[in-house]
Amino acid sequence: MKVLVTGGAGFIGSAVVRHIINNTGDEVVNVDKLTYAGNLESLSSVSSSSRYRFEKVDICDREEVERVIQSHQPDVIMHLAAESHVDRSISGPSEFIQTNIVGTYVLLEAARQYWMSLDEARKAAFRFHHISTDEVYGDLEGPEDLFTETTPYQPSSPYSASKASSDHLVRAWARTYGLPVLVTNCSNNYGPYHFPEKLIPLMILNAVEGKPLPVYGKGNQIRDWLYVEDHARALYKVVTEGVVGETYNIGGHNEKQNIEVVNTLCSLLDELLPDSPHRPHAQLITYVQDRPGHDMRYAIDASKIQRELGWTPEETFETGIRKTVEWYLANTEWVAHVKSGSYQNWFEQQYSQRET
């Protein structure tokens, strides 16, 4: 099978690409614009594979998207490319509207034209898998409530509103044109290769350097945490075994308050860095003003994907968070390249001499 992955140089996308190359015989075409969050160094372990190809393309560029699809002739498209940081969407929503909504529309139209041109066997086998977020559902009220696949959408931020819009577009293309789609909504991901603007890598790296650990409000916001490699396994299972037209929620069964996550990270760093001058690292915690429209609690009911496809997360929060901290401590070169911005030169270093 040939899988076209958009956003394959991002955090979740690179995990999907690594999973496919390392655990299947499939080919991967990675389509990524390489914004600040796209990092080809995260794919250095698989980039030399004969089954891997990279295309530096903006999904909003209709002509280029059509060229990539027509030239590579994928069997499935896994659409992960998105602007994804809530704080950035608040300060600059325009890019989120463009990439997440317009980009999804461009990709859907290019995929539809390509799908319609296929012979009957390949047409029947083709899948368009749209990867989304639990943030489209908004805020949970009761302490026992869970997001299900039929929870009404109530997005709170420009980011989640743009993802909700893209979800609606995908379902409309399925209903109107018959495009064979699958939709997944996931909870908060964490793990190796995470760009350090997000909570967990930010806290790890700040703590190592003795910098403040900024926690919004009282830190009592609750999230369901999903180890990124578990998510990659789930996504591949959905695109290969899922029922066309269905939505699958993917969660880690790990609800934690943000302050609990930060304290866990501090305790692990105290253990793993016994000679650190910043121990106990919890003394670095600093409470800052909450962001506008901050949802208090997300939690996913992932029973459908477990019941119908047999997927469950392999990592508990305790095992996954330890692996994550150990990875950041062991991969100082990757971290240094991200913090210096030199990772953005990786494309030129690796591909400037290669034939397009």
Give residue 326's identity as a one-letter amino acid code: E
CA angle 30, 36, 40 (to 5 degrees): 35
Tell whether omega for the bond before 201 is within 30 degrees of 0, i.e. cis. Answer: no
Select which of 159, 190, 236, 343 is catalytic.
Answer: 159
Active site annotation includes 153:
no
Whether the CA torsion 222, 88, 17, 261 is positive or negative: it is negative
Q: How far apart are CA 123 and CA 128, in angstroms?
A: 11
Select which of 135, 229, 255, 295 is catalytic.
Answer: 135
Helices (DSSP H) in 191-298: which residue ranges?
199-209, 228-241, 258-272
The conformation of residue 101, written as its DSSP 8-state character, comes to I
Active site annotation includes 216:
no
Nearest CA-CA partner of 179 in 77, 80, 57: 77
Active site annotation includes 149:
no
Select which of 134, 167, 229, 315 is catalytic.
Answer: 134
The conformation of residue 98, written as its DSSP 8-state character, comes to I
Strands 127-133 and 76-79: parallel
Tell whether omega for the bond before 280 is within 30 degrees of 0, i.e. cis. Answer: yes
Task: Kindly list the catalytic residues.
Answer: 134-135, 159
